[in-house]
Amino acid sequence: MGVGEFTMPPAKPRPEDGVSRSLFFPDEAITQSHPRFKTLTRNIRHRRKEKVAINVPIYKDVNTPSPFVEDLSAFGDFVCLLLSQSIKMMVSVLHWLQVTFQACNLDEAKTLYDQLAGMCPIMLALSASSPIFRGYLSDIDTRWPVIAASVDDRTREERGLEPLKEDRYRIHKSRYDSIDSYISPLGKCYNDIELTLDEKLCKTLIDGGVDELLARHIAHLFIRDPVSLFSEKIDQDDENDTDHFENIQSTNWQTMRFKPPPPKSNIGWRVEFRPIEAQFTDFENAAFTVFIVLLTRVILSYKLNLIIPISKVDENMKTAFKRDAVLNDKFYFRKDVVTEATPPECAQQCGTAACNKALSNQYELMTLLVGDQVSDVVHDQDEFPGLIPLINVYLQSIEVDVDTRCTITQYLKLISLRASGSLETSARWIRNFVMSHELYKGDSVVPEGTVYDLLKRVAEISSGTTSDPRHLFTRVNRSTGRIPEALSSAEAFLEEKLRLAGTTPNSDSSLATSSNSSEL
């Protein structure tokens, strides 16, 4: 996308008067299902007072020009900030997988929000599937920094490029970024970055009975202006309708989203986990979803503590963007995850609790401690064993039928093999496909023919008509079309006995059918 004619029917960008003013992406290609999307695109640019600038680092292959600088002189004054060694973009076309959890009450929702925040960079790296942007191989593997830049409506003053004169705040992040504060009592001492907030609104919330941590969180969201507003919804009864709140809430696209229940509804307190990138197959998407769901059960059941300082979560996010972060980089994670309320069976699995330690001693750089296989971290009995072993302890403590456990085991196997590097992330698989394609010239440019073959192969993998063991293992079904040899021999023996007795075997009397034989 963004290269030549890539729409049907063909459409051309209009940098002089289009909604996005993009050099590469026509307005006709913006999602047509709702006017909100074009409105957002236009209003983000208007509020920013200039075009968005998306500069994606180029992957330097053997024949990539150095320095790499795109020649956009034909666009004249329509070109905004252009960095060398980067792919120029002006809109984003991306994909992701979001999981929403229902909490039993407010406190549980706040706990999940905080506990899962540190998992966001890790799951982003594990699910990485975005190595190509605007026809070039990039030096990142995820969508996150691209979409963060594409919806960054901050002015130059808010970005700290000019002194504050007309604007109220210096805002440190795009409205699409990682969270800025924890909201549970356990997370309070880990709020170690400056939190810009609307002080007046914060006081109003506290005076109205909202606890300070949650009040600060909401007051921080409301430093943003609306970027989409419908005239018929301007005048609202805020006691019975939350459209005004949701207008701001839903356009703060952070890694986690805390979702209060709507009025006059049986919907409860919810938490949304937002960083995961979409995968090729339903199986992979289900695996990531089930993994994070089971992790919430482990956290709540065993009273675990995964919280690290917000500043370290931010560092982990930057690490997660990198090419092959799963293989080459480490992430900050807690040394000990148990608390005083953790049950003994889980505490024994995890090691000794980190009681009364200084914050700086509670975490360290680790490889992805998700599965049983860890490449360069030596574990002893007092160290954290990884998340999947804890999930298995939990599964052993509850009643799970054989079919469900078989399915879950395969999901966890995928996550474990991706974390260990035994299976390639989608981003690494895509990168390898391009770099080994006959049309690719080693110059970071992805030819159109390569794109066609890539999409064709991905579609085949998605539909199950083909597979690649480097990316996804062959899954085991509890039922199989092949009847085991021993069972076939038994049937043949029975048929021979019946023949000798002069009896014709009935088709209904066979010992087994393909639907109930098992390879497990």
The per-residue pLDDT for range 34-45, each reduced to its tens digit, is 667 778 888 998
Q: Which two tokens stand for residue 267?
A: 């919907």
Sign of the C-alpha dihedral computed for residues 334, 335, 340 and 341 taken in this order: positive
Mean pLDDT value across residues 478-486: 66
Selection from 386, 453, 459, 376 nearest residue 416 by Cα: 386
Strand locations in 281-426, DSSP E?
331-334, 363-366
Contacts of 262 (CB under 8 A, 6+ apart): 242
3 state DSSP class of 331: strand
Nearest CA to 330 out of 121, 17, 177 is that of: 121
Please give the DSSP secondary-structure letter assigned to residue 21. -
- Report pLDDT digits (tens) over 258-296: 999 988 889 999 999 999 999 999 999 999 999 999 999
Rounded Cα distance between 454 and 448, Å, is: 10
pLDDT at 422 over 60: yes
Grade residue 496 by pLDDT with cuts at 50, 70 and 90: confident
Tokens 């549980």 belong to 108
Residue 344, Cβ density class (10 Å: 0-12 exposed, 13-18 middle, ≥19 buried): exposed
Question: Residue ranges per domain, the chain?
Answer: 99-125+275-397
* pLDDT of 236: 80
pLDDT in tens, 329-388: 999 998 888 775 555 655 555 554 444 456 767 888 887 756 554 433 323 335 667 889
For residue 520, pLDDT beyond 50: no
What is the rounded distance in angstroms from the CA atom of residue 397 to the CA atom of residue 198?
46
CB environment 233-251: b (16+ within 10 A), e (fewer) = eeeeeeeeebeebebbbeb
426: which residues sit within 8 A by CB, 6+ positions away? 127, 128, 129, 277, 279, 280, 284, 471
